[in-house]
Structure 1
Amino acid sequence: MAENGAAPPRVVDPKQGVDPRQGVDPKQGVDPRRELGARGEQAAAEYLAAQCGLVILDRNWRCREGELDIVSTDAAGRIYICEVKTRSGTGFGVPAEAVTKGKRKRIRRLAQLWCAARLTGWCEIQFDVISVLWRPGSDSPQLTYLPEAF
C-alpha cells in the first residue's frame, strides 16, 4: 500500500504492454490466458456435442466452492462432468497433467453440489478430461478426450 492507503500503481512491461501479475494487456483489457481457455472450452463443448452426441447442460457452472467447465448428458441420462485444460505449448507438460489429485477432489465435490442444485433423483456420473493444445498461429486445436479420467 502507498502512504495514502491507496494500492500501488500497476507496473506494465513496456516491451509487451502486459501487467506481469495479471497477464492483461491494458490497451485491450483482454487476458490472453483466459481467452485461450475460453476458446479451448468452446472447442471441447463442440467436440462433445458433435463427436460424442452429448447434450450440453451447463458450461462454466459456478457456485461458492468453484466451477465446473462442462456438464453434459447422453440419451441414457448419464451425467458427464468434463474438466477442460488448455495450453499453447507443452513446456509445462500436456494440459491434462494439470488435473491434480486436489483438483479431482474439488471437481467431485462440485459435481455433488451441481446434482443437488439441478437434479431430483439419482444418476450415474462420469468424470472426463479434455486436453486442448492450441499452438500460437494455429486455426484449430489438438484435442485429446480422456473419458472416465477419474
Structure 2
Amino acid sequence: MDPRTALGRYGEDVAARLLADAGMTVLARNWRCREGEVDIVARDGDALVVCEVKTRTENSFQHPLAAVDRAKAERLRRLAERWTAEHGGPPPGGVRLDL
C-alpha cells in the first residue's frame, strides 16, 4: 500500500473510532456507487451522517472546509441522496454532511 493510501486509511480508522466514541453507529465505510465514494456513513440518533475525512501530514492547521470546494460539496450531496435512495429513503432526523 502506498503511503498516501495508508495515511488516508489511518485517518478514516481514527474518524470511525471518534464517531463511535461519540455514540454514533458507523453504517458503512468507503461506500461506492457510480457517482463516487463516501468515506463514512453513520447514524447519529435519527439523523444520517455522511462524513468526508481529510487527513493531513503537515504540522500546520488547515480548516477541513478549505479542502472541500463547491464541486466536492455538491458531489457529497448527490452521494447522500443516492445512499438514502438505496437504503429506504431519508431518516426522520434528516441528512448531515460532516467533515
Name structure 1 gaps, 5 residues minimum.
1-29, 130-150
Q: Percent same amino acid at aligned positions?
A: 46
The answer to whether the 8 A contact 1:86-1:95 is kept is no
TM-score, reference length from structure 1: 0.60
Equivalent residue of 2:96, what SS?
A: strand
Match of 1:62? 32
Name structure 2 gaps, 5 residues minimum.
none
The separation in 2 between residues aligned to 1:58 and 1:104, in whole angstroms, is: 19
Match of 1:127? 97
The separation in 1 between residues aligned to 2:90 and 2:47, in whole angstroms, is: 10
Does structure 1 residue 74 correspond to structure 2 residue 74? no
TM-score, reference length from structure 2: 0.89
RMSD across aligned positions (CA): 1.5
Match of 1:117? 86
Equivalent residue of 2:77, what SS?
A: helix
How many aligned residue pairs are there? 96
Greater percentage in helix: 2
Q: Which has the larger radius of gyration?
A: 1
Runs of 4+ residues over 2 Å off in structure 1 = none
The answer to whether the 8 A contact 1:80-1:128 is kept is yes
Equivalent residue of 1:84, what SS?
A: coil
